[in-house]
Structure 1
Amino acid sequence: MQLGEVAAEGVLRIRTLMVNVYIVRTGGTWVLVDAGLTGYARTIIDAAAQFTGSRTPPQAIILTHGHFDHVGALDELLERWNVPVYAHRLERPYLNGESAYPPPDPLVGGGVMALLSRLYPRGPIDVSRRLQILPDDGSVPVMPGWRHVFTPGHTAGHIALFRESDRTLIAGDAVVAVKQESMSAVLAQRPEMHGPPAYFTPDWVAAASSARALAALEPEVLATGHGVVLRGGPMRQALHTLAANFQHSEVPS
């Protein structure tokens, strides 16, 4: 049985309860994008072995950002793998033990997931011994053919990853494919284009700009941090509609 969903050539989506992580094959090696929730290290390791055909550790772990649901299994994975962790320089304070993320606002967005957000860990975590900062030129040292796109708003140093050759976009939480504030939508994984989870997004001006930047990439495959993989023309239309109407449809009043 396949432990995950093939999102694009060489890209596997693994769902860790309410959040996705991605395994990306790069030639004869691979990288892990995000680290999901606590308790899912074994799931990630087994899925990677099945997808890559080897128990070889990844070249690196790339973080779109450092929220708890994207770094939950990181410590356990790093106990097993002596690999670097790459992130944007503006995420450094949340990954080296310096700073906690701003508190969530459980009253925005509606829904049970939003109300529960007051219980979510805000960090910081400390992976400073493994932390490497992504180059400012957009390159990703361990992912030939990919570039990182600066997409702040949900966090100060949020990034997405884009592969030009087939227009595959791993968007993190800059945009998501489910209404993450709603427990029923998350459980059913109803596909629906949205901006970042409202309860954990402090900068809506930057978030709107990031949505426009991702729409301008004209992706063929959209693999987000929450929800199913979306593809093709209907996805692009939904992404452009989201970007155009972001202030009205996504920004809390």
Structure 2
Amino acid sequence: MKWMQLPLGPLQTNAYLLINSKRECLVIDPGSEGEALIQYIEEKGWTPLAVLLTHAHFDHIGAVDSVRDHWKVPVYLHKKEKNWLMDPSLNGSQFFQLGAITAKPADILIQEEGNLIISDFTLEVLFTPGHSPGSVSFYHEESKVVFAGDALFAGSIGRTDLPGGDHNRLIKSIHDKLLVLPEETTVLSGHGMTTTIEREMDSNPFLNGF
């Protein structure tokens, strides 16, 4: 399998596509520019099977309905954020000068950690709250990648000053759920460049007290 990173929208939020050999794909965090994203996927000849959300902040959900409606696929979101897609005060869009950003409710609420199987795709759902109360990360062992949303960045961690944020809980999530992954695991973050678990263990100042 292969993956693609697509920075979208004014905040350059990273959307990701995970593609299998049958040219099926999963769309992870489609944050904006729905028409452009749809055009790109169609030009590649890929067929989305689902939309997976690491969390429901506004910059990760702007193209959710565009993708869902175009391909008639389900949207997955953790149960702790079931109301966030519809509520600008929860998803944070009301606090920024971008207008209210909303989407229809998720089709499938993630209830717990464990394997999520969609066609040939098997991802391990890791509950990584702190940036938001329902943040999850999706670990794809076969590709040696983890889609970490806004929990962990190259040299940084997610902000915790939006509704439901909790700095101490985020640090615990990172240590307990992400840093225990194989060190060669590539971290695919919600913003910025990719990194690895090893690199963040060794040099991330937020995790090492530098």
Superposed displacement of residue 79, structure 1: 3.2
Shift of 1:135: 4.5
Please state how far the C-alpha of 1:209 moved relative to its aligned partner. 0.9
After TM superposition, the runs of 4+ consecutive aligned structure 1 residues lying more than 4 A away are 120-124
- Superposed CA offset, 1:143-180 (max 9, x none): 63311111001111001111123421111000123xxx
State the match for 1:20 in structure 2: 14
Which of 1 and 2 has greater Rg?
1
1:197, CA displacement in angstroms?
Answer: 2.8
**1:33: Cα distance to partner?**
0.3
Aligned length: 203
- The one-letter amino acid of 1:127's match is K
In the TM superposition, residue 83 of structure 1 has moved relative to its aligned partner by: 1.0
Equivalent in the alignment of 2:49: 59
Q: Which residue of structure 2 aligns with residue 36 of structure 1?
A: 31
Structure 2 equivalent of residue 181 of structure 1: none
Q: Secondary structure of the equivalent of 2:27?
A: strand
Deviations 1:85-132 (A, max 9, x none): 00111111213x36832869xxxxxxxxxxxx942569683522x520
Tell me what 2:114 maps to. Answer: 138
CA distance 1:126–1:226, change in 2 (3 Å): closer
Alignment of 1:67-216 (within 5 A): 67-95=57-85, 97=86, 100-101=89-90, 118-119=95-96, 125-128=102-105, 130-142=106-118, 144-177=121-154, 193-200=155-162, 202-212=165-175, 213-216=177-180
TM-score when normalising by structure 2: 0.82
For residues 23 and 126 of structure 1, the distance between their equivalents in structure 2, rounded to whole angstroms, comes to 20
Among 6, 10, 14, the alignment partner of 2:2 is 10
Shift of 1:211: 1.6
Cα contact 2:61–2:103 (8 A) shared by 1: no
Q: Normalization by structure 1: what TM-score?
A: 0.69
Q: SS at the partner of 1:59? A: strand
Deviation string, structure 1 residues 54-104 (Cα, Å, up to 9, x no partner): 4x3x11100001111100112222332211100111111213x36832869
Q: Which runs of 5+ in 1 are unaligned?
A: 1-8, 105-116, 178-192
CA distance in 2, matches of 1:103, 1:127: 16
Q: What is the distance in 1 between the residues matched to 2:21 and 2:111?
A: 21
Partner of 1:217: 181
Rounded to whole Å, the distance in 1 between the matches of 2:171 and 2:97 is 24
* 1:48–1:239 Cα change, 3 Å: farther
Distance in 2 (CA, whole Å) between partners of 1:78 and 1:205 is 34
- Aligned Cα RMSD in Å? 2.9
Q: Give per-residue Cα distances to partners, 1:30-60, cap 9 Å, x unaligned.
A: 11001112xx112212332344x34x3x111
Q: Which has the higher strand share?
A: 2
Q: For residues 62 and 92 of structure 2, what CA distance do their matches in structure 1 show?
A: 18
Alignment CA distance shift 1:135-1:50 (3 Å): farther
